[in-house]
Amino acid sequence: MNMRALTDGAREGAATAVPSSPVPPAVTQPPRRRGKPRGKPRVSLLGLAMLAPSLLLLCAFFFAPAIFTGVFAFTNMSTSTGIGKGDWMVTPTLLRQLRDAGLSEADEQAISAATYVVDAEHIARAEAGGVDGRFLSDIEGRLAGQTYDNARDFERDLRALPSKPRSARALKGAADHFASSVLNRRYATEAAFAAALTGVAPGLSPETLSLVTERAYTGAVFTVENFVTLATRRDTLRIVGNTFLYVGLTLGFNVAIGLFLALSTFYLPKRVGSVFSALWLLPRITPVVLYATLWQWFTWENGFIYILADTLGLPTYNYMKAGVTSAWTIMILSNGFVGASFGMILFSGALRAIPVQQLWASEVDGASRLQQIRRIILPQLRWPVLFVTAYQTLSLLSSYELIWLTTDGGPGTTTTVWALDAFKTALWAYSGEFKYGLGAAMALILVVVGLTLSIAYLILFKFDDLVGRPKIEF
């Protein structure tokens, strides 16, 4: 740009930058009323039809999971209870627990009794159940009148019969028709269970019956226990602390580096700036698994940093996994670079929206680059900075996948944050005990924190002003 052009431009810029020019504003109509237009709102069916697919997707992939999470959070749902409806079942383990809850020994024996009776009634039951006729007549002919107190003895005698079925399942299925026992049997409904229980132990009091029925349910039940656990367990505070530290430091890195990149590429010649911008986009556009693998190559044993440190005589170890400080550094940097490129794009866009004439004018006035940034650029980047801060806070709070793939919350649990802990509680456990209810409660808390922060940011943003009608008419 030659000096002449700069000077002309600076003049134009100066004119644009001063809104209080003597030219009166082109107001030709009275300001419109704010608020709802009068009369019946127009509803376009076509509009609704166009919206329908996105509404459906929203319901299926956002509202439904959020509602499920909310409901699960108030249950004790886990691997043991299963996700759907449970059954009613008495097991030796349950009987032992019931003894602790006050079940008498006599009642326990009555409930756990298992008898196999070969009489006309049970033979008829077996016949109705489809047991092979020849086998049944063998049973009737040779075992009628017998009573057994365990399955093994009865099955042994059945296997001695000439017409016994070939498969174990058929024989044991036939034996089942002669049984009077509730032990280790699943009942799909409470009524069926209560009837079977009363059948084997008719002397149970209504209170005992009710206690056994309640405790025999294998499915999940509603409870607020998850929130009590979270409020009282010792780990909670540390994980919350980790989360704040992680979000705070990563956010700071994101915004600062994003801003720095946007400004430096802004001042670079356009082509060079574009190349740099594209390079910084790599962390964002690389698939997260590949990105994590790159970090592993970079920081693990015999990786780049390892070899570099070895050459320089510095301590060498797996920096991602085997050092608390290095693990934290890597967690913040790896997440930070992804966020920094996001900030860079937004800030660059916002920078391009600043009328360049203002900068020309400032240069004419002798402003240095730093003064330009401080006095002209930063004040006009307030909204983008606030937006990136808000968006990234929410995003960082709920993201765990990169931490999971890199430090995995370690060493120990030193880099474990709330979202990662929620995921591991609900869906990732070496022991196989997934606590869906507790994990959902943790996720629900995250949703509540996210919503609260969103509202706080909306107020901070003065969202009403942002989306309100412009104060001047165009």
Q: Which residues contact other proteins (rule: CB under 8 A)?
A: 78-84, 86-87, 89, 91-93, 96-97, 100, 159, 167-169, 172-173, 183-184, 186, 218, 228-229, 232-235, 238, 300-301, 317-318, 321-324, 327, 407-414, 427-435
Contact predicate 85/176, CB 8 Å: no
Which phi and psi angles does 337 have, rounded to 5°?
-65, -35
Residue closer to other proteins by CB (options 76, 348) is 76
Residue closer to other proteins by CB (options 227, 276) is 227
Amino acid at 349: G
CB of 176 to other proteins, least distance (A): 9
CB of 233 to other proteins, least distance (A): 6
Which whole-number Å values give the CA distances from 255 to 340, 354, 408, in the listed order? 6, 19, 25
**Beta-bridge partners for 189:** none
Residue closer to other proteins by CB (options 218, 380) is 218
Collapsing DSSP to helix, strand or coil, 234 comes out as coil
On the CB side of 321, CA atoms within 13 Å amount to 14
Collapsing DSSP to helix, strand or coil, 90 comes out as strand
Contact predicate 171/164, CB 8 Å: yes
CB of 340 to other proteins, least distance (A): 27
Residue closer to other proteins by CB (options 46, 231) is 231
Residue closer to other proteins by CB (options 222, 267) is 222
Which phi and psi angles does 349 have, rounded to 5°?
-60, -45
CB of 252 to other proteins, least distance (A): 24
The tokens for 463 are: 């969202």
CB of 287 to other proteins, least distance (A): 18
Residue closer to other proteins by CB (options 80, 147) is 80
CB of 119 to other proteins, least distance (A): 24
Closest CA to 291 of 221, 241, 341, 227: 341
CA 454 to chain centre: 18
